[in-house]
Amino acid sequence: MPLTAADVAELARAKHVLENPGLAVRITDLVGTPVEALVKRLPDPARRAIADATRKALGISLDAALRTLDGRSSPSAPSDWLHRGIVIATGAAGGLAGLAGLAVELPVSLTVMLRSIADHARTQGEDLSTVAARLECLTVFAYGSPSSSGDDAADIGYFAVRATLARAVSQAAEFVAERGVAEAVGQKGAPALVQLLARIGQRLGVTVADKAAAQLVPLLGAAGGAAINTLFIRHYQDTARAHFTVRRLERVHGADAVRGEYERA
């Protein structure tokens, strides 16, 4: 079935989001200083703390994805504002606590954002009763993030990043299917899960560093932390909408037709 004009327009909007991660630009507009400059000022202990917080938060989000996301269909619009309200509140608290509060705030923020991502997935027809679909929600944190210099998927587009994640998602889903959710969650050191989290964390860590560096701007405080978290969750909600739009169109029209139109958009 050929794509309609409405499908092509949806795909063009999705491509604009997926190929142009805009969080750093939005934060720069907010704080008045390029994010890259703020990140360069971070001392090594701060960078290590951010990396540790990102890894731990992703592990908690993996637990949430496997244990608590359900497969109920949701044809209604996602509850974006409800999830934003929670993340804004955690950002306000984090803004007061500074870097020390990141380890507490980030797991909460990522888990709430994961639920918002799942909302978008359900709205676009994803079956979250399957482990693979739940893990697909987690991968949005990679699609919505820029590349790092050490990223083996650096400087490549959405479909290439997706290809690097596909095998990791498949292997992780097979591992969970074989062991069961409870046992799999208790064995997060298993290679299949480690590889998946590492690939996502490699890209997510860049965005978290941007967020953390901005929150450390002197005098930014609670209001600034709330504003940055507003940008943070809107960024991933937009990415989720775009990613699951592409997947929905693929189910209807076929992957090759959608990929071809995406490239032309």
Contact indicator for 131, 139 with CB cutoff of 8 Å: no
**Is residue 164's pLDDT more than 60?**
yes
In the chain, domain spans: 5-264
**Is residue 153's pLDDT more than 50?**
no
pLDDT digits 0-9 by tens, 197-245: 999 999 999 988 988 888 777 656 666 777 888 888 899 999 999 999 9
Residue 87 to residue 226: CA distance in whole angstroms: 8
Residue 151 to residue 39: CA distance in whole angstroms: 17
Structure tokens at 106: 């980030």
pLDDT digits 0-9 by tens, 99-138: 767 788 888 889 988 988 999 999 999 999 999 999 999 9
- Please give the residue that has the higher pLDDT: either 149 or 143: 143
Q: Is 158 left (phi over 0), alpha (psi -120 to 50) or beta?
A: alpha
**Is residue 175's pLDDT more than 70?**
yes
Residue 35 to residue 28: CA distance in whole angstroms: 6
Residue 258 to residue 265: CA distance in whole angstroms: 10
Residue among 262, 244, 216, 11 nearest 98 (CA): 216
Query: Rounded to two decimals, what is the model's pTM?
Result: 0.87
Q: What was the pLDDT predicted at 31? A: 82
